[in-house]
């Protein structure tokens, strides 16, 4: 199953693969050269297919738990001063996605979207400490029943050049549902109340839509 954000790219990639194979067979007569180039072309095509995969996840909805919004590795767990919206201290949990990870973004908790803003910016590597405030990004705040207001932030990386955000103001959202996509390497930050209990460790690999990263 593939994400809808990849349909046009996958169609184009399929067309290029087909034309490429035809041209290779027509103009490259050396058998081994033909096979090597064809193999490389096929590997590139498979890489694009796996990037846009959209596996089903079994989310157990629980208003007392925050689930990982994306697949990836936990790179930050710390108290920070969040200055865009809250303007106070928050617990930040950041998850870095490599190009090999599933790049679908899922709502970490159910509630009502009360803030959704896009920021243009730089394309620092996603694990850079300043990427959260200087890179291209979207910031979304959800008003929840048990945590109050929580924010998640989609951040573009050095390769990512497009952030897709489905969260709009006043939208009622459900934990685990698809809320966007970030293309080609990126990161998601989650900002929680200071007293939230963390359920992950630094460098731990998490599974979006299912794994609990924090709880009440």
Distance, in Å, from the CA atom of 193 to the CA atom of 195, rounded to the nearest integer, reads 6
131 has catalytic annotation: no
User: The tokens of 29 are what?
Assistant: 């007569």
Contact assessment for residue 6 and residue 52, using Cβ atoms and an 8 Å cutoff: yes
The catalytically annotated residue of 110, 116, 132, 186 is 186
149-168 core/surface letters (b: 16 or more CB in 10 A; e: else)? bbbbbbbbbbebeebbbbbe
User: How many C-beta atoms lie closer than 10 Å to residue 26's C-beta?
Assistant: 8
∠ CA 104-159-48 to the nearest 5 degrees? 55
- Just list the catalytic residues: 186
């Amino acid at each position: 199953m593939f994400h809808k954000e990849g349909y046009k790219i996958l169609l184009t990639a399929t067309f290029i693969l087909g034309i490429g194979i035809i041209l290779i067979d027509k103009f490259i007569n050396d058998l081994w050269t033909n096979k090597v180039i064809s193999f490389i072309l096929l590997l590139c095509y498979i890489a694009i297919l796996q990037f846009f995969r959209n596996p089903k996840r079994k989310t157990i909805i629980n208003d007392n738990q925050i689930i990982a919004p994306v697949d990836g590795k936990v790179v930050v767990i710390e108290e920070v001063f969040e200055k865009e919206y809250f303007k106070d201290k928050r617990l930040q949990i950041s998850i870095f996605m490599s190009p090999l990870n599933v790049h679908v973004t899922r709502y970490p908790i159910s509630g009502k979207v009360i803030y959704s803003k896009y920021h243009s910016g730089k394309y620092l590597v996603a694990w850079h400490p300043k990427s959260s405030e200087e890179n291209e990004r979207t910031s979304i705040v959800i008003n929840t029943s048990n945590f109050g207001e929580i924010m998640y932030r989609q951040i573009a990386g050095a390769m990512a050049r497009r952030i897709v955000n489905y969260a709009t103001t006043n939208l009622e959202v459900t934990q685990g549902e698809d809320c966007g996509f970030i293309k080609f390497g990126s990161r998601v930050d989650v900002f929680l109340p200071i007293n939230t209990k963390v359920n992950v460790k630094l460098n731990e690999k998490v599974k979006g839509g299912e794994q609990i990263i924090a709880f009440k």
